[in-house]
Amino acid sequence: MNIHEYQAKQIFAQYGVPTPKGIMAESVDDAVKAAEELGGPIWVVKAQIHAGGRGLGGGVKLAKSIDEVRTLADEILGMTLVTHQTGPEGKLVQKLYIEDGADIKDEFYLGIVLDRAKEMPVIMASTEGGMEIEKVAEETPEKIIKVAVDPTIGFQGFHGRELVFGLGITDKDEQRKFIKFASNLFQIYMDKDVELIEINPLIRTGAGDFLALDGKMGFDDSALGRHKDIEAMRDESEEDADEKEAAQYGLSYISLDGEIGCMVNGAGLAMGTMDTINYVGGTPANFLDVGGKATAETVAKGFEIILKNPKVKAIFVNIFGGIVRCDRIANGILEATKMVDVKVPVIVRLDGTNAPEAAEILKNAKIDNVIAATDLLDGATKSVEAAKGVK
Amino acid sequence: MSILVNKDTKVIVQGFTGKEGSFHAEQCIAYGTNIVGGVTPNKGGQEHLGKPVFNTVAQAVQATDATVSMIFVPPAFVGDAVMEAADAGIELAVIITEGAPVKDMMYAKMYATKKGMKTIGPNCPGIITAQECKIGIMPGNIFKKGNVGLISKSGTLTYEGANQVCNEGFGITTAVGIGGDPIIGLSYLQLLPMFEADEETEAIVMIGEIGGDLEIQAAKYIKENITKPVVAFIAGQTAPKGKRMGHAGAIVSGGAGTAKEKMEALEAAGVKVVVSPAEIGKAVKEVLSK
């Protein structure tokens, strides 16, 4: 789960990670009130959406008067912001963050993620703040310092020294401030089951202070149960409606660009099914894992969600029954055709536990647009062929 | 022969009396797995599925000499359960549960390593030595005894791969579902040498997916150390960047961990890489008839 910048900064404040002062606003009037409260003389009006690249997309602007705050708030609030992370459809701006302008001397990057190879958190820092870090990693990887921290010992002084010397911070007072900053940020990462924290840019002011000018945070979904405070920060309007609806029924769904809807059990086989459709010349319309507890209701829901996409010309149901018994899936498909009006061809491949019983159930049902397939390749091929026949 | 587990392996089940634990333990017993008992706190002294129940893993190990534990406890308690198993001297913990917090697994794996306990999973179908010992949730009937070792991040692709291998007239020595989480136990790097050393295994199938770099590490290792033929499939060639494809670890982040780079690395290491999982059986036939 991701949160907004203003929420990340609330957490930063709890842990003593310094940020400029700011106030969230959901209307132009509130934005003006916030600006008056902050006092100026310079404000930054920032769109709050769950995506990076807001500045380049026109979602972050500087204001030098209260009037300008009003004009900018009016302009940004309600706009559809398109950045390299939103996709071409962009994201509607529903919240603003009005922040004190800062005296920027230098811009750094600071982030913490899990290093999957070392199996411990790694702090990443760079003097190339304000740029896309992926680009820095690609073009000038030597400009990113990586310090892995064994969580059993926690953030120690030497970790901090590796960071400040690596970044070329030489003033002793500044070194102390930066190490404190990084140490507090690491504590947030550990305490809150964070998946990713990124501050880009982290600035050094003319007075030699370090401030988090931005804040991006994502959390381990599996750990949200023990963080009610974080769970309360969920902004459902930022999440894909179909993915969210699917999740309520225990389905894992991701929409794609193609024509063949997929319903599969298991994430690996679901990806393998998409790859196979691609391999035989078709295009997958979605990723859909029905999970281990598929019932008639969840399968029907799966059809419903797949069919919301008007591009879908055929549906390939590919089930290898281990935990999910094939006869149950077969019954689910039959139930689903009663509950949802499925007009496109449905290609069904059921293998594994109780596959013969499932084949029998489907055969006896005698439904016109249900086509049986013998294996994965056969199913993918028949799906691609069936999709060609659908206008 | 086989790797890690066989018909003599003594297995306990943590989360023995729960719904999932009961269902799958019963299936394992029916398959022939030597399940010697289980652990559920506050149910010690009872009998379940004809086996003794203990309050702690330490008590279970003392009474049964079990060396392997199959873990079905709910996600929030997985870390605790793994550490308890390690502390009690279990040699291998097979963690089936899906949805354990990453931080818990990070600590649990560090402690397991310190105690010399191997782990498989979490979020995996488990391990099976064909027609001898099933420790997990896979449909046992599709794994016929044979000469192919299988390592897979995905449960259903394990079944798909094994089924194709068997349909081509071959069979499986041992199949290991290693799981698709960001932090997992035994992986390609530890399992490949075991299959290389196993006399009955003549070919190895490895099934990977997008995210992380375990497959890249495996490619390097295969190039230098593995003499047996390897067939590989990497799931997620058509997966969009930055999207988590079901498994917590299956995500292409910042352009790294793509199927393409993994497939190229494996091919360069002399591995027979297939583009669709539908080709696994045929590819195994091809490498074994050379």
E strand or H helix at B114: helix B102-115
Task: Decide yes or no: CATH 4.10.490.10 for domain A241-388.
Answer: no
What is the residue extent of each domain of chain A?
1-20+103-237, 21-101, 241-388
State the pairing for strand pair B35-39/B92-95: unpaired
pTM of the full structure: 0.92
Residue type, position B289, single letter: S
The DSSP code sequence of A149-181 is: --TTT-S-HHHHHHHHHHHT---HHHHHHHHHH
Tell me the pLDDT band of A324, cut-offs 50, 70 and 90: low
Q: Which fold has domain A21-101?
A: Dna Ligase; domain 1 (3.30.1490)
Helices B214-225 and B188-197: crossing angle in degrees, nearest 10, is 30
Does the annotation mark A6 as catalytic? no
Residue type, position B216, single letter: I
User: What pLDDT, in 10s, does the model give residues A196-254?
Assistant: 999 999 999 999 999 999 999 999 999 999 999 999 999 988 888 888 888 888 899 99
Asked if the domains at A1-20+103-237 and A241-388 fall in one CATH topology, the answer is: no
Q: Between residues 14 and 33 of chain B, which touch chain A (CB distance below 8 Å)?
A: none
CB contact under 8 A, B235 and A380: no
Tokens of B80: 């605790």
Tell me the pLDDT band of A87, cut-offs 50, 70 and 90: confident
With tokens 């917590």, the residue in question is B248
Burial category of A310 from C-beta neighbours within 10 Å (exposed 0-12, middle 13-18, buried 19 and up): exposed
Q: Give yes or no for A224 touching B (CB within 8 A).
A: no
Tokens of B256: 């790294």
pLDDT recorded at residue A157:
97
Indicate the average pLDDT of chain A. 92
Nearest residue on chain A to B242, judged by CA atoms? A85
Nearest residue on chain A to B163, judged by CA atoms? A352
Task: Give the closest residue to B231 by CA, choosing from B154, B287, B157.
Answer: B287
Q: Give yes or no for A320 touching B (CB within 8 A).
A: yes
Tokens of A360: 């029998």
Asked if the domains at B11-120 and B138-288 fall in one CATH topology, the answer is: yes
pLDDT recorded at residue A117:
87
Catalytic center residues of B: 247
What is the residue extent of each domain of chain B?
11-120, 138-288
pLDDT recorded at residue B248:
67
Contacts of A49 (CB under 8 A, 6+ apart): A4, A59, A81, A86, A91, A92, A93, A238
pLDDT recorded at residue A313:
95
Top residue of A152, A265, A275 to mutate, by most chain B CBs within 10 Å, is: A275
ipTM: 0.90
Cβ neighbours around A1 below 10 Å, total = 19
Low-confidence ranges of chain B (pLDDT < 70): 1, 248, 253-255
pLDDT of A294 > 80? The answer is: no
Residue numbers in A near B125 (CB within 8 A): 322
CB contact under 8 A, B163 and A352: yes
End-to-end CA distance of chain A: 39
Q: Give yes or no for A191 touching B (CB within 8 A).
A: no
Q: Considering only the top CATH level, what class is B11-120?
A: alpha beta
The DSSP code sequence of B170-203 is: --EEEEEE--SSSS-SS-HHHHHHHHHH-TT--E
Burial category of A175 from C-beta neighbours within 10 Å (exposed 0-12, middle 13-18, buried 19 and up): middle
pLDDT recorded at residue A391:
54
Beta carbons of A202 and A163 less than 8 angstroms apart: no
Which CATH architecture does the domain made up of B138-288 adopt?
3-Layer(aba) Sandwich (3.40)
Tokens of B155: 């449960």
Task: Decide yes or no: CATH 3.30.470.20 for domain A1-20+103-237.
Answer: yes
Does the annotation mark A189 as catalytic? no
Residue type, position A177, single letter: K
pLDDT of A390 > 70? The answer is: no
pLDDT recorded at residue B255:
65
User: What pLDDT, in 10s, does the model give residues A143-165?
Assistant: 999 999 999 999 999 999 999 99
Q: Give yes or no for A278 touching B (CB within 8 A).
A: yes
Tokens of A329: 């899936």
Residue numbers in B near A120 (CB within 8 A): 106
Q: Give yes or no for A148 touching B (CB within 8 A).
A: no
